[in-house]
Structure 1
């Protein structure tokens, strides 16, 4: 498979190593300042660029008939436009806030727990995410996905908010930035008598990168807009 990497930071470099180890060729590596490039020779593109560049990268792929996998967060105000363009062009597109196989299992565990806690209003939900100091957006896309999973499955909540909130129906998300932390996410239910916590801790970036390559392998030859649930048959 011929892969174009759109974004060549730490994630892009890790993806490159894993892709090559799985027998693929990385034919294009676009850094943040590159704007003029030919995407048409690629079988698939993997986007881990900047929030300001992601939508342009994705639309360029879709206009040129190249399947695209995006893990960039912070651009989702344009997500519906990307979906509409993908459907119009009969392209192939996967966006995920987190491509880690373990995190996507964690997403489903979070939804199941939210359903179980829906009738137990004495428990208050809080969330925390910790990432490295170079992460640009807060809260993380993964934390937002977790919060949305609770909101969809627990009748006691209808919104999330960064940091503390006085609103009982709003989930507070604490975002911390600490040197060299790949990603830690926790969902906490606390009552006066006890607490229930679920947590995912990434030990390195390998899991994120592997999931992105697996998603790219799965996407080639397909048409439509997909998620990691489709890739992992969850």
Structure 2
């Protein structure tokens, strides 16, 4: 497939024009025009780039790419090394951030809900482009039981902040993968029993306790593995590309 054609296919599937983002979505670094082999991963780190080079990939597709709003513009240091490696090896880099978080089928939020057995009800912000969601569990469970389920599914222990009423059962859940911890107040205002995100801030602890809501910090990387993996699998299935997902370990 041609590299520009691939960008059009991805844009058609993810509709990046519908959401304001902090980085450009689509083809960020242009490489070879013909794409046969693709590597997918969460973040375009040097380790992931080096792996893509080692298997003679033509393209790298990630959730966290480059050129973030507010970052230093000079291409030097770590950023320079990464980009030089891509250009030297004629490797295309595609990045899709918020459009991949919110996609109703392949998105990080959708995939996490499916893995945890949460029935999606709606966007937490009340519109389809909401980057946070809410839904309900098929069967109510304790905070300890949900923490164990998250640990089993994501292969890492979540940080569980219990509300003042620690024995409060969980049926309704809000969630936002990655750095979505500040949606906890919106989740509490809607009367939800629990909120899950990737990252936690110092203030989140007090919010959970004082607003009587269970909170689970499950890891930014751990909660965002599944969208990019699903997107690659969709490309392989629907468009015949050779796609390999690589999970570069990250404890955050």
* TM exceeding 0.5: no
What is the TM-score normalised by the length of structure 2?
A: 0.29
What is the TM-score normalised by the length of structure 1?
A: 0.31
Answer 1 or 2: higher relative contact order, Cα 8 Å, separation at least 6: 1
